[in-house]
Structure 1
């Protein structure tokens, strides 16, 4: 062991620990610098920055809700179907009402989110009270929800001519030049960050995810928090789908939420290697979402083939998982 002149032990810098905590953020900064140098006239502009955030806003809303589920150690594969559910039924309710009023839109949005939360609570009840695998149960629920949407819709899309402009503003409007989807994503992130990091229920969720048996012995009710986590995940997925419907000015009965399912998991797992390796948290998910947005946008403005976006995302996820896994081994 190396020693200093005073005889004390010299502590070697822990490069692995440093990279495990900061590697994702360093990668994000390096990617931003690379794309900015490669396309300085396009990539680092304010317009393109807002474009990146707008592009990932729906993914971000869905991934943030999924984060809450993963914090308590549960997977939710129904988020894709729930996103489609939120978008279609919000558009359908408003088309049936035929009223272009902000209060009517607000009522329809709240009704859809409440329905989504109820479905999420059913997921949580089946998983926590009956001990069914969350992966299998939420996958089954996604089939049920998809079937209900197709049955009610007759596979017909609700078009913009039937959707009030007050609803379309949610996805197409802006405040002070910032698109509404970005503001909704930021608001969702702030609410969930405060909930998980600065409330007792949030701390209880982290305790359950860290060691469910120890949490039970401490008097923390897993069943209750499973219902809450699944309800939040479903509501955020429906909100994301609702924003997508407002942005597209159409309520599609299929092919909407599925496009966000895998990327939502990618973002959350990349985030779990940020600052707190192996732990799911809102800030990490936000970094993961932004990383995906920067990769997709940067490669796109450089004219790189789309398939490279998938390859790069996959490689970064693999590296993130390796980092989290090795960090867990070191702690053991």
Structure 2
């Protein structure tokens, strides 16, 4: 069997039919991810890309039918990517996509058995996320407030965006998707639709509330036909997208020479780290950030310890 597969791979033609034959299966898997699993559009795109990549690899190995797939084939797929220099995070995601796909294929009768049960990818390297120091966060928001003193409504918008990102720790995609009605100024909360279609309500403080109020007083100057209920608008009246928000964060941070160059996700990391440094409960931070697992939130405890160690080494005479 191995010889046949190697020959098919060398010939380059026999296995090439498999991806085409599996088009219906991939489409059905996409519907499963969207409708039954409630996965986000971003996750669906990533998983489908991974599965198409896998099917192309299987075709190159001379595997013409999906039920022919074995654990060794899946391991060779991941191994080829590792040899090509793929990041551990990429390999972990692709292994997860393969397990989800083959589990679904077995449950729907498309596979006699799931070959991915013992498929293991390299463990992710838990890198410490970059964060601002509290003084740097204050300086950034003060700069945004100074710029908002002029008559440009976009500067008021930028200040409100930065204040809300740092105050709430929401994701940039969640912020871009906000509507005006998602803000409750009385309770100082924002209603967010997070990953997997899970809704949560996140509080924000007085500075963010004041910035939002000022933005809402000038938002009408950017409204155009078709603006709809979007909370944050661009100059042409369209809903802002994550790319625009990233540009705002990078541009303002560029004026702080000693601060790290972070995007909106860096403000999310900073908010979580500063909450924990201030004594917040880990599970409260988990709820605030919308993490499904507490283990994801725990990385911020490592960030805080790392910063404490750095401060100790700089300040203690016998460090």
Greater Rg over alpha carbons, structure = 2
TM-score normalized with structure 1 length? 0.26
Name the structure where helix makes up a greater proportion of residues.
Answer: 1
TM-score normalized with structure 2 length? 0.27
